[in-house]
Amino acid sequence: METASEGKSLRLGLFGGSFDPVHLGHLEIARSAKELFDLDEVHFILANVSPFKFQDKLKDHENAEAAIGQEYKRAEILKLALEDYYKDDENAENGVVPRYQELNFKLNLMELNRKPPSYTYHTVEEFKVLYPTAKLFWIMGADSFSELPKWKNVTYLIENLEFIVFRRKETGLNTEKLLESELFNRDNFIDLKKKLKVNFIENPYIDVSSTLIRKSILNSNDLNALDGKLSNPSKGLIIENYRKRFRE
């Protein structure tokens, strides 16, 4: 599957998450990462059951079964959003219509199709098989990165990934001091931290989160507040899907 031009290894961005639902903030993060780090592709890896939530799912089999349909509905919504998202190839000047070029965003369902619990290192192993010479970048938020030392097989992740970490302004999380936290300085992580390749980036400012979108759909009949925060093709499907979930 691996391809590269003129002897250049592929640079792949791996953006994992629940995307529940996907919004323009996610897409802008991917676009920024692609441009800042000269990525050839960004793979949106739709998460299945988080390993941290897997035991809860086992305790509630009925809800786990019902969730399967919702997982694939998220995939349908994410696919629509990615197909609609384009990049200006040139700035419009003097009324000239700009040209557009696809950003090479990819929908990846390997985690969704994997039997849970699904660990990030499993995903990286699969990418290493598919793209053995590619340089892999893991795109994530600062809140998730703050828990990195707890991740399964974190040694493998640090040895095979470079991390691109975005900070949302409203969280107030100080990324400069993040690596000085107690979790990153435990005896069993000190040596690993020296090998860590991480880039802290300010999040492109879009005042939106998946949580706020779900609350808006649940609590408001006026959905104009979602304008400019969801891709147009996916907006109707998102509203329909989440209203149905809230009724159930």
**Start-to-end C-alpha separation, the chain:** 42
Contact indicator for 80, 146 with CB cutoff of 8 Å? no
Q: Specify whether domain 11-207 bears CATH 3.40.50.300.
A: no
Over range 85-112, report the average pLDDT.
61
Over range 53-77, report the average pLDDT.
59
CA-to-CA dists, residue 53 to 25, 48, 67, 109, 153, angstroms: 25, 10, 13, 19, 18
Summarised one tens digit per residue, pLDDT across range 5-58 is 556 799 999 999 988 888 888 898 999 999 999 999 999 999 875 555 544 444
User: For residues 130-157, b (16+ Cβ closer than 10 Å) or e, as one string?
Assistant: ebeebebbbbbbbeebbebbebeebebb
Which sign does the torsion angle of CA 52, 56, 58, 64 carry?
Answer: negative
pLDDT score of 241:
77
pTM of the model: 0.81
**Domain spans of the chain, in order of start:** 11-207
Axis crossing angle, helix 232-247 with helix 210-219, rounded to the nearest 10: 60
Tokens of 222: 């006026």
pLDDT score of 163:
98
